[in-house]
């Protein structure tokens, strides 16, 4: 097994790291405080090809694959987890399923705009009573001539207030189906805007569908194929969130090392105390392990190999690690870590959601156990 990035992947990582530190990091704290969506930052990311990482080159994408996306999302998330999830959802949950399940006409219409960043994509599966139990959704798709009429509400939609196109899952007479919905459609509206503990520069909203008419050409895949599309997409989405969690952990480690070297207690650097050294050693070791697991999941997805279990494992391990690391980072900073003077309090708040969205920690355990037990 080759553990080395290709030359192209190394260049991508450096480009993403430079962009994250020069463009994303300087505005991260301010955007978090103001709950401001990273509009300008996303535009600049798109110019670097980061909006079309799963899109084939013939449609204007950079075609970096899932592993390339992981590399970019981790670097960006180390600077700002809100920006990281915006990039992850746009690529993995919107462009990704369109590439896998879309018709040639759908790809030609949407992929070039998604890849250029002209269109921001989102994904609408969850509802008030259909979170982990996605099959319980009640949003309806009623046949209407050659098209469909969508009615219902979707909850917890990342980027929903800024998206131009959303993949919406609704229950048709033949079963749950997926639809490409232009947010300019009559009857589409944004409902409640969630006030969140973390990732506050990412918008999370309710969307309302009141007799939204979509043509037959807006059906993604076949009628009744919605859950297949949703679960395949979530396999990739979990890898994206694992990468986001890796970025948060790396940020916690970097901040903790810096503080341990600069802060003095009892006449010597904080980092000279074994208690602090062991915290840093554990954080670093577990980060390397989680990164390898996440990259393996990405590699398998790119290769077209079965990866549902390992994607769940990567998400499980990386997300729980990010929460432990954020907790340790605050502890290492002591009282200062509990203030807004240092960014570790933001990492602490941002990390918490990684164990909830794209499938909770409990759901990941269910997915893994079912695969093991057959």
- Over residues 250-279, mean pLDDT: 97
CATH superfamily of 122-224: Butyryl-CoA Dehydrogenase, subunit A, domain 2 (2.40.110.10)
What's the mean pLDDT when you consider all of the chain? 97
Fold of 7-119: Butyryl-Coa Dehydrogenase, subunit A; domain 1 (1.10.540)
Distance between CA atoms of 56 and 244, rounded to whole angstroms?
23
Q: In this model, does residue 114 exceed pLDDT 70?
A: yes
pLDDT at 3 (0 to 100): 79
Q: What is the pLDDT of residues 64-96, one digit of tens each?
A: 999 999 999 999 999 999 999 999 999 999 999
pLDDT of residue 131: 86
Any idea which residues carry the catalytic annotation?
A: 358
Is domain 228-373 annotated with CATH 1.20.140.10?
yes
- What's the pLDDT at 359? 94
Reported as a single tens digit per residue, the pLDDT across 322-343 is 999 999 999 999 999 999 999 9
**Any idea which of 2-6, 335-339, 367-371 has the lowest mean pLDDT?**
2-6
Report, as an integer, the average pLDDT of 265-272.
95
Domain definitions of the chain by residue range? 7-119, 122-224, 228-373
Query: pLDDT tens digit string along 182-209?
Result: 999 999 999 999 999 999 999 999 999 9
pLDDT in tens, 302-319: 999 999 999 999 999 999
Residue 242 CA to residue 125 CA, distance in Å, equals 20
Residue 220 has what pLDDT?
Answer: 98
Q: How many CA atoms lie within 13 A of 194 on its CB side?
A: 20
DSSP per residue over 74-113, as a string?
A: HHHHHH-HHHHHHHHIIIIIIIHHHHHH--HHHHHHHHHH
- The pLDDT of residue 186: 98
pLDDT at 361 over 80: yes
pLDDT in tens, 139-150: 999 999 999 999
> What is the Cα–Cα distance from 256 to 172, expressed in whole angstroms?
51
**Residue 222 and residue 167: Cα distance in Å, rounded?**
14
- Where residue 115 falls among pLDDT bands split at 50, 70, 90? very high
Distance from the first to the final alpha carbon of the chain: 27
Give just the sign of the alpha carbon dihedral 89, 91, 96, 102.
Answer: positive
In the predicted structure, residue 269 carries a pLDDT above the cut 70: yes
Q: How many residues does the chain have?
A: 374
Instruction: Tell whether the model's pLDDT for residue 355 goes beyond 90.
Output: yes
Q: What is the mean pLDDT of residues 226-247?
A: 97
pLDDT at 1: 63
Report percent pLDDT > 70 for the chain.
100
Q: Looking at residues 1-26, what average pLDDT do you find?
A: 94
Q: Give the pLDDT of residue 4.
A: 87
């Amino acid at each position: 097994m080759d553990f080395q990035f290709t030359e192209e992947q190394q260049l991508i990582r450096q480009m993403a790291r430079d962009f994250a530190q020069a463009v994303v990091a300087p505005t991260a704290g301010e955007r978090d405080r103001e709950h401001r969506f990273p509009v300008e930052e996303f535009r600049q990311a798109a110019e670097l090809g980061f909006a079309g990482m799963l899109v084939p080159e013939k449609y204007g994408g950079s075609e970096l694959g899932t592993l390339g996306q992981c590399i970019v999302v981790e670097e960006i998330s180390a600077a700002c987890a809100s920006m990281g999830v915006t990039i992850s959802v746009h690529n993995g949950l919107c462009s990704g399923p369109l590439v896998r399940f879309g018709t040639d006409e759908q790809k030609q219409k949407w992929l070039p705009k998604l890849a250029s960043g002209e269109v921001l994509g989102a994904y609408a599966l969850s509802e008030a009573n259909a979170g982990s139990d996605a099959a319980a959704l009640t949003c309806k798709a009623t046949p209407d001539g050659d098209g469909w009429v969508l009615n219902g509400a979707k909850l917890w939609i990342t980027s929903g207030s800024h998206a131009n196109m959303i993949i919406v899952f609704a229950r048709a007479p033949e079963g749950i189906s997926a639809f490409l919905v232009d947010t300019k459609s009559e009857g589409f509206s944004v409902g409640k805007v969630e006030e969140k503990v973390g990732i506050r520069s990412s918008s999370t909203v309710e969307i309302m569908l009141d007799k939204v008419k979509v043509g037959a050409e807006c059906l993604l895949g076949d009628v009744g194929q919605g859950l297949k599309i949703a679960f395949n997409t979530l396999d990739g989405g979990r890898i994206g969130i694992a990468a986001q969690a890796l970025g948060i952990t790396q940020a916690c480690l970097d901040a903790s090392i810096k503080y341990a070297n600069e802060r003095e207690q009892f006449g010597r650097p904080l980092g000279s105390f074994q208690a602090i050294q062991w915290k840093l050693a554990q954080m670093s070791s577990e980060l390397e392990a989680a990164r390898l697991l996440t990259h393996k999941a990405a590699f398998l997805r790119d290769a077209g190999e079965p990866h549902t279990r390992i994607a769940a494992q990567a998400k499980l391990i990386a997300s729980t690690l990010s929460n432990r690391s954020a907790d340790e980072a605050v502890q290492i900073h002591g009282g200062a870590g509990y203030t807004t003077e240092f960014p570790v309090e933001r990492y602490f708040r941002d990390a918490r959601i990684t164990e909830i969205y794209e499938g909770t920690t409990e759901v990941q355990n269910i997915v893994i156990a079912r695969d093991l037990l057959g």
